[in-house]
A and B are shown apart, each in its own frame.
Chain A
Amino acid sequence: MNTIQQEQKNPSLTMNGIGKSFPGVRALHDVDFYLRRGEIHALMGENGAGKSTLIKVLTGVFSMDTGSVRLDGDPLLIRSPQDAQRHGISTVYQEVNLCPNLTVAENLFLGWEPRKMGLIDWKQMNLKAAELLRELNISADPTAQLDSCSIAIQQMIAIARAVNTECSFLILDEPTSSLDADEVEQLFTLMRQLKDNGVGIIFITHFIEQVYEVCDRITVLRNGELVGEFEVEKLPRLALVTKMMGKEIDNLSELSVDTDESRFEGEIPIVEARNLTSDASKVAPFDLKMYAGEVVGFGGLLGSGRSELVRAIYGADKATQGQLLIKGKNVKIKNPLDAMKHGMAYLPEDRKVDGIFEDLSVRENIIIALQAKHGMFKRMSRKEMEKYADEYIALLNIKTSNIETPIKTLSGGNQQKVILARWLLTNPEFMILDEPTRGIDVGTKTEIQKLILKLAGEGKSVAFISSEMDEMLRTCSRMVVMRDRRKVRELTQGQLNQNTIMRTIAGGEEDNE
């Protein structure tokens, strides 16, 4: 690999003053990014920070509005991903972008197969593949079909393919999110080896521990702006989380939530999970108690397992281990309908994918859950449906021209209110609200926060997930903190301040406490 020689000249990839806007959104503003050869550089930020936009600008998927990219000091214009590859910039995405029904060798050489007299030289190809795999210490048979390999190996083969094309810069977009601990370790070994070969690696991940394990530098983005570039040793975990979430640690502006700590003593929880987990979620088994009249926040970074935890309770992912008790009674929840019949409701994180029926009317979207609870042959009368729809449209102040309008024509905030109405109509005792305020306007946000407090006041138990710390502090009386797919701590009233929450989310410092 001639990359080592190039490294001696200390060349690098520089992005300066990058700006990119989409209609109505400023995705990136004046961002600098500097990648050296032979380093692993973490790119960190919460949802909407601009990580993926920056990567897409670098790889030529998007064109930038302002700024410049330089390779070894020379200006570089990247028009397309193919262009980026020609300049030695390759990307491996979370979803492996290979052909599962071809062999490992075919995948490695697809598009530049060694040829003999115009035909593919299979022997040569398999030999070359074996050599490449040996070089990178990847234990895979070149003639094996790709989908017979584990996801980790597939990911490494994707990397090998990228590296094989004379790549000096490699972008890994959340490569570890579907790997287990051993597989992650294998991947890291490969990454370190590539680093020693002089490849500059951009590593995007949600797992803070992994950053500290493998990276040299961290660049943090927030709301499309650069927060800063840091050396890993000089940036404690807590400081990193603070920078990602944009809160100053000493700004202790806690709101007092007037709950008595011993309030629930002796009371039977509405929902109690004991050692519960599901296969799909990959969350470590957890215990949890939810009482009537309380709002419990679920904190943690994106990908920490907040959503997966509540999905296991609701039966959206089928529980494979542990017990679930409703009001002290052991119950089996096989699917969401069971959960609904036990008084649960679940507002999913992704409104468009899991929430709305876009072509159905507002009325149908409101009554669908209650109708499903009643069953197919106990159809509500049209009048009844209209009465409910009207009632909840008025209650939640939903702005729609009439109840027969298709929901897809409503604004995001109003769609979310329709889904809230859908669940309120089933009169649940335990409500799971996963990011109910994401992507909706400020006015509606406040309305929804007020509604959450009102529901708790009426004796409902609410599980509230939000990426906005302020919002959670304002509404929650207790907070469950998740980190790396594990429930790490429950914070009660006295500990509910930004300082403690940040510390717990960041982790790695529990020994000092």
Chain B
Amino acid sequence: MNNSIEEHASKPFIKRLLGHRLTFPLVVLLVVVIQNIITTPNFFDISIRNGFLSGYIPNILDEASELVIVTLGMTLVIAVSGGVDLSVGAVMAIAASFCGLMLNGAEYRTDVFHNPYGLALLVGLLGGGLCGAFNGFLVSRLKIQPMIATLILYTAGRSIAKQITHGQTIYIMNPVYKYLGVQIPGVPIRTTIIISVSIVILVVLLVRLTSLGLYVQSVGINNSASRLVGLNSRRVTFMAFVLCGVLAGAAGLVGSSSVGSVNSGELGLTIEMDAILAVALGGNNLFGGKFSIAGSVIGAYTIQAITTTLYAMNVRADQLNVFKAIIIIVIIVASSPVFKEKITRMTRTVFSRKVSLGGLSDERQ
């Protein structure tokens, strides 16, 4: 335990580990998982029920899917503008309403598709993209603060969605509609998991294979220098918002499909706050600049894992937010620069070694 040579040798590694941007989100996720191992012995159990994989972990992956998709867009918007997109939840409702209108026609409950399913999905995504373009125009052209600009659709979006569906919740009874949000017959994994993972991969590819990631970071870090090196910072900002809108649209389609209806008052309600939180948990700078898709995704899954854990611990739904708030306060404080600096200073003292060793032995219990 007190082998000083080993400790000495491991110091640069620890320093590197502490410095890595993904360390913090991973540690948080790990803590949540460990907590589950202690309190919920069957946490890792996976069984096949009703024809698909079931258990805590598949559940978390499933229920987090909307949040994960929305968080991807939020990450880009925050990175490029240093501001947030408050309208993502409302945009989910709008996109789903477009899709529902295409499928149901004027009927509020039917099992016949009025248009091809694929076309309806496309129109839904387009609706999301339009909303994003509107936000992007306000921010990039009119230079309105992102939070204020997106407040417009945040406020009006659900009303607009209601108008699209003629003021009703519409039910899409055709079982094919649930392929997207529940399960495709014969596939043992929930479609939401497949879709969210695929979208994550797509966005990562988009960021990696094009220069979008570099451009977004450059504009987010230094707008005036970006212009001088030949970047069109307006266009980059605009694109980030459009992408965020399309992704919110996709999340809306998944969400509506999983319940088989379009309820514009409920779909994606308060998801914007979770998405912002996920970006923060992912170690991203909320003032813009460098971002990490991986961090954000981990952040999103962590938030869902916390929710699921609390339910597993028999916390009632009405108490849930209180517990969540407490956990989040702890996490945010722990990730604040002031606290981190304190910790770094403490790790230099002997006292800190005891703490970290104590932490290790805790895990072994």
Q: Do A and B come from one complex?
A: yes
Residues of chain A whose beta carbon lies under 8 Å from any beta carbon of chain B: 316, 335-337, 340, 346, 348, 353-360, 364, 368-369, 371-377, 379, 422
Evaluate whether A356 and B225 lie within 8 angstroms (CB atoms) in the complex, with A337-B230, A369-B230, A379-B209 already known: yes
Q: How far is the CB of A370 from chain B (nearest CB, A)?
A: 9
CB pair A379–B210 under 8 Å, yes or no, is yes
B224 / chain A contacts, CB cutoff of 8 Å? 353-354
Q: How far is the CB of A343 from chain B (nearest CB, A)?
A: 12
With contact pairs A359-B290, A379-B211 given, residues A372 and B221 touching in the complex (Cβ less than 8 Å):
no
Cα A337 to Cα B222 in complex, Å, equals 16
Q: A373-B230, A422-B229 are in contact. Are A359 and B215 (CB under 8 A)?
A: no
Q: Is B191 an interface residue (CB 8 A)?
A: no
Docked-complex contact A372 and B229, CB < 8 angstroms: yes
B228 adjacent to A348 (CB under 8 Å): yes
Would you call B214 and A364 a contact (CB within 8 A)? yes
B222 nearest in chain A by CB position: A357
Closest 10 A/B residue pairs (Cβ): A372-B230, A337-B230, A369-B229, A357-B221, A379-B211, A340-B230, A376-B211, A372-B231, A359-B290, A368-B229
Q: Is the CB of B225 within 8 A of A354?
A: yes
Shortest beta-carbon distance from B208 to chain A in Å: 8
For this complex, 21 residue pairs linking A to B, each with C-beta atoms less than 8 Å apart, are A316-B227, A336-B230, A357-B222, A359-B217, A359-B221, A360-B217, A360-B290, A364-B214, A364-B217, A364-B218, A369-B229, A371-B211, A371-B214, A372-B215, A373-B230, A375-B211, A376-B210, A376-B212, A377-B210, A377-B211, A379-B209
Given contacts A371-B211, A376-B210, A376-B212, contact A360 B232 (CB under 8 A): no
A368 and B210 contact, CB distance less than 8 A: no
User: Distance in Å from the Cβ of B22 to the closest Cβ of chain A?
Assistant: 16
Interface membership of B289, Cβ < 8 A: yes
Contact B228 A354 (CB under 8 A): yes
User: CA separation between A368 and B224, bound complex, in Å?
Assistant: 14
Query: Smallest distance from the beta carbon of A199 to chain B beta carbons, Å?
Result: 39
Min CB distance A410 to B, Å, is 15
Which residues of the partner chain B approach A358 to less than 8 Å between Cβ atoms? 221-222
Interface centre among A346, A353, A356, A368 (most CB of B within 10 A): A368
- Chain B residue with Cβ nearest A338: B230
Are B217 and A357 touching (Cβ within 8 A)? yes
Beyond the given pairs A335-B230, A372-B231, A422-B229, 14 more chain A to chain B contacts, judged by CB atoms under 8 angstroms and listed by A's residue number, are: A316-B227, A337-B232, A346-B228, A354-B222, A354-B224, A354-B225, A357-B217, A357-B221, A364-B217, A368-B229, A368-B231, A371-B211, A375-B211, A377-B210
Contacts of A353 in B (CB 8 A): 222, 224-225
B210 and A336: CB pair below 8 A?
Answer: no
Are A355 and B230 in contact (CB-based, < 8 A)?
Answer: no
Q: Is the CB of A368 within 8 A of B232?
A: no
Task: Give chain A nearest CB distance to B79 CB in angstroms.
Answer: 11
- Chain B, interface size: which category? 20 to 34
- Most B CB atoms within 10 A — which of A355, A360, A372? A372
User: When chains A and B are docked, how far (Å) is the Cα of A353 from the Cα of B225?
Assistant: 7
B: which residues have CB within 8 A of A? 209-212, 214-215, 217-218, 221-222, 224-232, 289-290
Alpha-carbon gap, A367 to B165, bound state (A): 49
B215 is contacted by which of A336, A340, A348, A376 (Cβ under 8 Å)? Answer: A376
Q: Residue among A356, A359, A373 with the most chain B CB within 10 A?
A: A359
Cβ-Cβ contact count across A and B, 8 Å cutoff: 73
Q: Which of B210, B211, B290 has the most CB of A within 10 A?
A: B211
Give the residue name and chain of the A residue nearest to B212 (CB).
Answer: A376
A422 to B222, CA, bound (A): 16
Measured in the bound complex, the distance between the Cα atoms of B231 and A34 in whole Å is 51
Please, which residues of chain A bring their CB within 8 A of the CB of B228? 316, 336, 346, 348, 354-355
A336 touching B227, Cβ below 8 Å: yes
Shortest Cβ distance from residue B335 to the other chain A in the assembled complex, whole angstroms: 17
A336 to B290, CA, bound (A): 24
* B225: A residues at CB distance < 8 A: 348, 353-357
Q: How far is the CA of A356 from the CA of B224 in the complex (A)?
A: 10
**Bound CA–CA A328/B116 (angstroms):** 58
Task: Determine the chain A residues whose CB is within 8 A of the CB of B211 once the complex forms.
Answer: 371, 374-377, 379
Q: Shortest Cβ distance from B295 into chain A, in angstroms?
A: 15
Residues of A within 8 A of B217 (CB): 357, 359-360, 364
How far apart are the CA atoms of A376 and B211 in the complex, in Å? 5
Bound CA–CA A489/B299 (angstroms): 62
> By the criterion CB–CB under 8 Å, are B221 and A360 in contact?
yes
A359 and B214 contact, Cβ closer than 8 Å, known pairs A336-B229, A354-B225, A422-B229: no
Contacts of A360 in B (CB 8 A): 214, 217-218, 221, 290
Q: Which residues of B have CB within 8 Å of A354? A: 222, 224-225, 228
Q: Which residue of A lies closest to B215 (CB)?
A: A376
Chain B nearest CB, measured from A364 CB (Å): 6
Question: Within the assembled complex, what's the spacing in Å between the Cα atoms of A377 and B209?
Answer: 8
Q: For A376, what are the chain B residues with a Cβ–Cβ distance below 8 Å?
A: 210-212, 215
A316 proximity list for chain B (CB < 8 A): 227-228
> How many angstroms from the CA of A359 to the CA of B79 in the assembled complex?
12
Bound complex: CA A357 to CA B221 (Å): 6
In the bound complex, CA of A337 to CA of B209 (Å): 22
Chain B residues whose C-beta falls within 8 Å of the C-beta of A355 in the assembled complex: 225, 228
Contacts of A368 in B (CB 8 A): 214, 218, 229, 231
Give min CB distance, A308 to chain B, whole Å. Answer: 14
A13 to B217, CA, bound (A): 52
Across-interface contacts of B226 in A (CB, < 8 A) = 357
Point out the residues of chain A lying under 8 angstroms from B215, CB to CB. Answer: 372, 376
Bound CA–CA A340/B289 (angstroms): 24
Contacting residues, chain B, for A348 (C-beta < 8 A): 225, 228
Which residue of chain B has the shortest Cβ distance to A374 in the bound complex?
A: B211
CB nearest to B236 among chain A residues = A376
